[in-house]
Amino acid sequence: MSPAMSHAGIGMTSARTRDRLVQRLREQGITNLKVLERIRTVPRHIFVDEALASRAYEDTALPIGWGQTISQPYIVAKMTEALIAGPALRKVLEVGTGCGYQTAVLAPLVATLYSVERIAPLVKRARERVRSLDINNVRFKHGDGMKGWSTQAPFDGILAAAAPLTIPETLVEQLAIGGRLIVPVGPEGQQQLLRITRREAGLHREVLGTVSFVPLLAGLG
């Protein structure tokens, strides 16, 4: 099925189905209207395998192959909301493109999004699907997300869609002063979602909740 055809979708993509998902996110505490509208309008079903398309608008993570998952819509919304809270973001780095769903939700809310993924087939697929949505402000790279994207640093914001055991110093160093890093940190079963703000005087750390992500791995897949 081509991206253009799949956007039309079937009953699973009805406005009522998406509205129910958005209402659930509201009930869970998501308040940013721009974020909620992105969740409502991005066709999540094109980012999952056709066999799982009927579950695309459930508030749950789903497998996308290569040991990776598409994140739960609530987590995508929470991370996006935490990242964009504050001054407008000009340059943002996404670590872990995955299937491209988080990319598609976030990209229109920032000026330019740089997205790094270590698994080459995922980069190709994400690029195709994001561009099929007429989102043209994303630069993709097959690379080691633990290293960030040094040639484009500093970034006003960084969002990591996989969990390192500790806060990666390399990513912190690529933050602009005033920049925000949203990252799940810790071993499986003990992960916390953090917002790290880089200030002149040092780092300000906030705990945003308990989460469960695949590990952030070094190297290329």
Residues with catalytic annotation?
A: 71
C-alpha–C-alpha distance, residues 39 and 105, integer Å: 7
Please choose, from the candidates 130, 131, 162, 133, the residue with its C-alpha nearest in 3D space to the C-alpha of residue 145. Answer: 162
Say if CB 160 and CB 102 are below 8 A apart: no
Say if CB 113 and CB 84 are below 8 A apart: no
Tokens of 13: 């993509």
Number of residues that this document lists for the chain: 221
Contact residues for 101 (Cβ-Cβ < 8 A; gap 6+): 42, 44, 47, 70, 71, 76
Give yes or no for a cis peptide into 154 (omega within 30° of 0): yes
Torsion of CA 93, 136, 218, 148, to 10 degrees: -30
